[in-house]
Amino acid sequence: MSKDMCWTSASELGRAFARGTTSPVEAVEQALQRAERLQPLFNFMVLIDRDGALAAARAAAARWRKHEPLSPLDGVPTSIKDTTAVKGWPTRYGSHATDETPAAEDAAVTARLRAAGMVFIGKSTTPEFGWKALTDSPLQGTTRSPWNPNHSPGGSSGGASSMTAAGVNPFNHGNDGGGSIRIPAAHTGLVGLKPSYGRIPQYPADSPFADVISQGVLARSVLDTALALNAMAGPDPRDWRSLPAEDRDYTIGLDGGVRGWRLGLSLDFGHVKADPEVRALVEAAARRFEALGAHVEDVGPLIAPLKEPFEALWSGSFGVRLRQIPTQLHGKLDPGFRALAEQGLSVTLADYARAYEAKSKLARDMALWHQTYDLLLAPVTPTAAPPVDTLYNSDAFPRWTKGAPYTLPFNLTGAPAASMPAGLTQAGLPVGLQIVGPPRADHRVLQAMRAYESACGWSWPQERVLKTLAGLQSSA
């Protein structure tokens, strides 16, 4: 194996560790060096734990030498999004309303990745309380895309997407309550799976959005995504909503293909106005499935506009968060977050109940739709990555029509949904194809992702990213 491992996949690293051609210490040292070098350019990390990461890497190397790895991912470097607890590290949520108190225990997903032997090099950035599909916060500043630093890597898992696309390490933890894995994956040309709700346990479930959030990773390959899901999936008695264990290795059957599958394509859901470039790229990407033996059918209008039925759910949940923050700290909040949360203070219980009723209806309608179609294909976002100075949920970039109109429905239904690279705009920015499965059919979504990956010709490193990195580092 080349000594330069920055673009090496997790699966390849695991095989190299097993052969002894490289070690976790070498891989983690390279990841740390690259993160430290690129952090001033992209601001994708909240903290870097060099000493802790190298100690964990040495322990992993000892296990591989004894042929006793904890998993195929033992010794692979990763990071945890700063909405998620890591024992001994603070959880800041990008907010001055939090403090440096270290977490007393790992979150469930953190513990699963640690049990697999993964090495945590640090924590990745998020917008304040993960509130938007861009990544900037009052506490940590602005995170930038390695495709073009004037553009956002998306959000709210933008630190994770920026790190992964910049070649720091193979994949990074994220979570998705309205598109926060799929949107940054689309904006940075990555693979991003939001697993079925409950597939990965939520603990602690202390977010007002605990009913819609799924944990996952942002990766550069489908195989790495499946390996990560193997490590993270499974019930936890502390989360009564977690799904029962599946007797399944998600890497098995990946190459089964989609021949004979019936896929529905909806470019606008009947109301979303996507940029013409996005529509064209997504339609062309969806048609690749026809060459793989699937039947792709345009299904037209599918999901009604989201704002009226679900505004109360969104703003009301942030209103709950605002009530937890001392009033003397409100002036330090992201103005956009504060305005939304204050709006949520007036949401009534009846408003909230109607939103939950609409949520149940949408889940039922989509489950019935999947009786006819194996998968739904759609854009991930209406636009490519917006500029970093975009005001989210403003008149120029409303959440319901520009931010998350394609992704939020599948947080509400809990269905598995993924982003795959659909190509580049004329400006050289990635666009994502969304693949949505029936309830709890994560394996089928992964199988379709892998079939598409094999046909689309997208691979890392991407030339445009390499040029951007070279230009930035030469001028730094």
**What is the SS3 assignment for 284-337?**
HHHHHHHHCCCEEEECCCCCCCCHHHHHHHHHHHHHHHHHCCCHHHHHHCCHHH
Q: How many whole angstroms separate alpha carbon 17 and alpha carbon 13?
A: 6
Active-site choice (23, 81, 196, 315): 81
The region, left, alpha or beta by phi > 0 then psi within -120 to 50, assigned to residue 123 is beta
Q: What angle do CA 221, 160, 281 make, to 5 degrees?
A: 55
Prior bond of 156 cis (ω within 30°): yes
First vs last C-alpha separation in the chain: 30
CB 422 within 8 Å of CB 433: yes
Query: Which of 309, 320, 313 has the alpha carbon at shortest distance from 345?
Result: 320
Q: How many whole angstroms separate alpha carbon 185 and alpha carbon 384?
A: 11
Tally: H helices and E strands in the chain: 14, 13
One digit per residue, the tens of pLDDT, for the chain of length 476 reads 456 899 999 999 999 999 999 999 999 999 999 999 999 999 999 999 999 999 999 999 999 999 999 999 999 999 999 999 999 999 999 999 999 999 999 999 999 999 999 999 999 999 999 999 999 999 999 999 999 999 999 999 999 999 999 999 999 999 999 999 999 999 999 999 999 999 999 999 878 888 999 999 999 999 999 999 999 999 999 999 999 999 999 999 999 999 999 999 999 999 999 999 999 999 999 999 999 999 999 998 999 999 999 999 999 999 999 999 999 999 999 999 999 999 999 999 999 999 999 999 999 999 999 999 999 999 999 999 999 999 999 999 999 999 999 999 999 999 999 999 999 999 999 999 999 999 999 999 999 999 999 999 999 999 999 999 999 988 77
Q: What is the pLDDT of residues 41-95, one digit of tens each?
A: 999 999 999 999 999 999 999 999 999 999 999 999 999 999 999 999 999 999 9
Helix axes of 442-456 and 276-291: crossing angle, nearest 10 degrees: 100
Helix axes of 222-232 and 10-19: crossing angle, nearest 10 degrees: 80
Instruction: Count other Cβ atoms within 10 Å, centred on residue 119.
Output: 30
Q: Respond yes or no: is residue 180 known to be catalytic.
A: yes
**Beta carbons within 8 Å of 416's beta carbon, 6+ residues apart:** 193, 194, 195, 196, 199, 410, 436, 437, 440, 441, 442, 445
Q: Respond yes or no: is residue 156 known to be catalytic.
A: yes
In this structure, the dihedral spanned by the alpha carbons of residues 420, 143, 267 and 271, taken in order and rounded to 10 degrees, is 150
Query: Which residue ranges form the domains of the chain, and what is each CATH number?
Result: 10-475 (3.90.1300.10)
Please, which residues bridge with residue 142 across strands? 136
Active-site choice (9, 95, 152, 156): 156
Q: How far is CA 142 from the centre of its chain?
A: 18
Q: How many whole angstroms separate alpha carbon 315 and alpha carbon 312?
A: 5
- SS3 call for 251: coil
Q: What is the pLDDT of residues 114-162, one digit of tens each?
A: 999 999 999 999 999 999 999 999 999 999 999 999 999 999 999 999 9
| Predicted structure pTM score | 0.98
Active-site choice (145, 157, 180, 315): 180
In Å, what is the CA distance from 427 to each residue of 147, 153, 278, 375, 457? 10, 15, 12, 30, 20
